[in-house]
């Protein structure tokens, strides 16, 4: 049976460290690290995510703002609100919740973000700096959480064959780059990959972020592999991952559960990114 990579325990440790650092920064700066969540409409999934972020930030003593525009808002209205938050010195991080309303040009909204406040690393400047490892940049909190789990549990990354299933801008691509920067050999798979199982069976580290419940089964995993499941799916009212936990846990060497794996660590990384953004803004520049 695979070793359980407990994200809740790691997140508790990380939150304590981040909270201590934030308190020191607040004493020095006279400010509280604060995030603003911007959305259009009141989709239940968005509201649930907002409640979770609010709980995480308020428990850590961070500031939290929720900005909701009407569900029918257009690109111009969202860009205007983004620019208002960019100019607000009391807001250090801005998180644009997706999905945005139909007809909204998501790229235009994202590009309106001040890169220093883009705490989920979606702005092209942050994405490009991650690619080239140049200057200061934010990285999406979800893949950062996956790396934190691997490093905390001493999973060897250098030289490992890492397979990332999923190529989203928010998880798959940045996860692949973070692994590559740590000297893994990285393969990225997606919906058009031929014979997915043949590739996943070779992985020393298998990271899955496709949004398809229980896509990866035990026969698709190399014996002893480390499996990082980023999936969030509801099946019959139950939260499950992109990995079929029961069959994969019999084969893998280590695995993250859902819930209690990458999710809690992602939340801790969002705190860290917001504190990082606050520090950079206090310094008044992004070199």
| pLDDT value for 284 | 54
The pLDDT tens digits for 198-230 are 999 999 999 999 999 999 999 999 999 999 999
Q: Is the pLDDT of residue 72 over 80?
A: yes
Give the domain ranges of the chain. 22-138, 141-264
Domain 22-138, CATH: 3.40.50.10860
- pLDDT at residue 128 is higher than 80: yes
pLDDT in tens, 228-286: 999 999 899 899 999 999 999 999 999 999 999 999 999 999 999 999 999 999 975 44
Q: Angle 38-43-47 (CA atoms, 0-180°, nearest 5)? A: 60
141-264: CATH architecture: 3-Layer(aba) Sandwich (3.40)
Say if CB 121 and CB 137 are below 8 A apart.
yes
Query: What pLDDT, on a 0 to 100 scale, did the predictor assign at position 6?
Result: 98
Is residue 47 very low, low, confident or very high in pLDDT (cuts 50, 70, 90)?
Answer: confident
Residue 75 main-chain phi, psi, to 5 deg:
-60, -45
CA–CA dist 166, 207 (Å, integer): 8
Q: How many CB atoms lie within 10 A of CB 246?
A: 10
Is the entire prediction scored with pTM above 0.75?
Answer: yes
Q: How confident is the model at residue 176 (pLDDT cuts 50, 70, 90)?
A: very high
Q: How many CA atoms lie within 13 A of 129 on its CB side?
A: 17
d(CA 27, CA 45): 36
Residue 70: what are its φ and ψ, rounded to 5°? -60, 150
- pLDDT averaged over the chain? 95
Side-chain half-sphere CA neighbours of 58 within 13 A: 9
Q: Say whether 141-264 and 22-138 share the same fold.
A: yes
Range of lowest pLDDT (42-56, 65-79, 219-233):
42-56
* Nearest Cα to Cα of residue 212 among 193, 197, 190, 195: 190
């Amino acid at each position: 049976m695979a070793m359980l990579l407990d994200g809740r325990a790691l997140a508790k440790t990380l939150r304590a460290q981040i909270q201590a650092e934030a308190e020191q920064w607040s004493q020095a700066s006279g400010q509280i690290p604060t995030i603003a969540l911007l959305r259009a409409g009141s989709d239940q999934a968005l509201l649930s995510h907002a409640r979770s972020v609010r709980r995480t930030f308020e428990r850590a003593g961070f500031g939290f703002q929720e900005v909701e525009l009407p569900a029918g808002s257009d690109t111009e209205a969202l860009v205007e609100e983004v620019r208002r938050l960019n100019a607000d010195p009391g807001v250090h991080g801005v998180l644009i919740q997706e999905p945005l309303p139909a007809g909204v040009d998501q790229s235009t909204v994202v590009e309106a973000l001040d890169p220093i406040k883009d705490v989920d690393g979606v702005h092209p400047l942050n994405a490009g700096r991650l690619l080239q490892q140049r200057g200061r940049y934010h990285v999406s909190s979800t893949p950062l959480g996956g790396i934190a789990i691997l490093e905390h549990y001493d999973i060897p990354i250098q030289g490992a064959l890492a397979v990332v299933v999923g190529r989203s801008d928010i998880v798959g691509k940045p996860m692949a780059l973070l692994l590559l920067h740590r000297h893994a050999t990285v393969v990225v798979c997606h919906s058009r990959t031929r014979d997915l199982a043949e590739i996943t069976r070779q992985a020393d580290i298998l990271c899955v972020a496709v949004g398809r419940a229980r896509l990866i089964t035990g026969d698709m995993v190399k014996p002893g592999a480390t499996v990082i499941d980023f999936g969030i799916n509801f099946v019959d009212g139950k939260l499950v991952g992109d990995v079929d936990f029961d069959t994969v846990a019999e084969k893998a060497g280590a695995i993250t559960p859902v819930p209690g794996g990458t999710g809690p660590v992602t939340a801790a990384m969002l705190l860290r990114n917001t504190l990082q953004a606050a520090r950079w803004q206090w310094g008044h520049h992004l070199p």
